[in-house]
Amino acid sequence: MTYNYGMDFAIVTLGFFIIVAFMLFFGAFVIVKQGYCKLVTRLGSYSQTLPAGLHVIVPFVDTVDRTVDLREQVLPLQSQSVITKDNVNINVDAVVYYQIVNPFSAIYEISNLVYAIEQLALTSLRNIVGDMTLDQTLTSRDTINAKLQEIIDVAASKWGVKTNRIELKDISPPPDIQQAMNVQMEAERNRRAAILNAEGAKESEILRAEGEKQAVIKRAEAQAQKVKLEVEAEAETAKLYIEHLKAAGATKEVLQLMYMNTLEKVADGKSSKIFLPTESVSALGSIAAAGELFSTKFKDSN
């Protein structure tokens, strides 16, 4: 039996070409996931950037060099010791939110993008806090965040990075400073409480005095109204009494005398004001005229 070596070689060769064709076929297709991109080099030189989707490249000529995450990244900055303008040593930590907008620059313009952003943020943070006092640092977080973001944006733009925002997580003064701040805060709270209590007492006294004033006024008005009503009632009674005498046929002189007696009762010292009917005023005028006439005659006789 003769063994056919030529057939075996043909089978092996065919299998080799099938494998190569398979590799070429499937190696020509590249799938990129959403939120990522791939950088392709051709014979070692940058060729193109592949966005999300299905792409075809030249096998053995084109090579997928890097896969870049285009989503927003979170870079925590470890707590760093920073000296403020008034020579207080504080610990500050922050978080940087950034996003790659130019994959080519992020890969080929900087060797270690994350480390570069971290060191840039820490250096800028020291410079910003170093120009501020402790009180300014504790009360100006938004200002520090804005300045830090602006500095990193300018410096990292050539790396194809966009800084979306930066947040200071914590600012920790030394224990002795914290204790002094707590004492100051307690004193401030006590001062505010004392002011509020004093203002409350003052307002209470004002309201009480105002209430007493209104009560006195109301009592005086009520007393005056009472006296007025009593005088008006007595005057009305006298008027009715005189009308009754008129109806009974009393003379004018008797009526005038009754007016005078009534006025004497009305003006008994209860009030500084007297309310008189019109008839009483006329009567008084008649009496005064009679008195004058009598006085004249008396003088003439003498």
Does residue 290 register a pLDDT over 50? no
Residue 129 region by backbone torsions, left for phi larger than 0, else alpha for psi between -120 and 50, else beta: alpha
Distance of CA 187 to the CA centre of its chain: 25
Does residue 249 register a pLDDT over 70? no
- Provide the pLDDT for residue 5: 55
Non-local CB neighbours of 125 within 8 Å, separated by 6+ positions:
77, 80, 82, 92, 94, 144, 148
pLDDT confidence tier of residue 297, bands split at 50, 70 and 90: very low
| Residue 194 vs residue 185, higher pLDDT | 194
| Residue 127 vs residue 281, higher pLDDT | 127
- Provide the pLDDT for residue 103: 93
The rounded distance, in Å, linking the Cα atoms of 54 and 72 is 23
pLDDT tens per residue across span 202-235: 888 888 888 888 888 888 888 888 878 877 777 7
Fold of 73-173: Tetrahydropterin Synthase; Chain A (3.30.479)
Where along the chain do its domains lie?
5-68, 73-173, 220-301
Q: What is the pTM of this model?
A: 0.54
| Residue 42 vs residue 293, higher pLDDT | 42
- Provide the pLDDT for residue 264: 58
pLDDT tens per residue across span 90-147: 888 899 999 999 999 999 999 899 999 999 999 999 899 888 888 888 888 888 899 9
pLDDT tens per residue across span 266-278: 555 454 444 444 4
Does residue 17 register a pLDDT over 70? no
The rounded distance, in Å, linking the Cα atoms of 35 and 99 is 11
Distance of CA 297 to the CA centre of its chain: 95
Non-local CB neighbours of 100 within 8 Å, separated by 6+ positions:
68, 69, 70, 73, 106, 113, 160, 161, 162
| Residue 172 vs residue 247, higher pLDDT | 172
Segment 179-184 mean pLDDT: 67
Question: What is the length of the chain?
Answer: 302
Residue 27 region by backbone torsions, left for phi larger than 0, else alpha for psi between -120 and 50, else beta: alpha
- Provide the pLDDT for residue 37: 94
**Out of 38-42, 58-62, 178-182, least confident range:** 178-182
* Contact in structure between 55 and 29 (CB atoms under 8 Å): yes
- Provide the pLDDT for residue 293: 40
| Residue 31 vs residue 257, higher pLDDT | 31
- Provide the pLDDT for residue 253: 60
| Residue 207 vs residue 257, higher pLDDT | 207
CA triple 229-230-233, angle to 5 deg? 85
- Provide the pLDDT for residue 299: 46
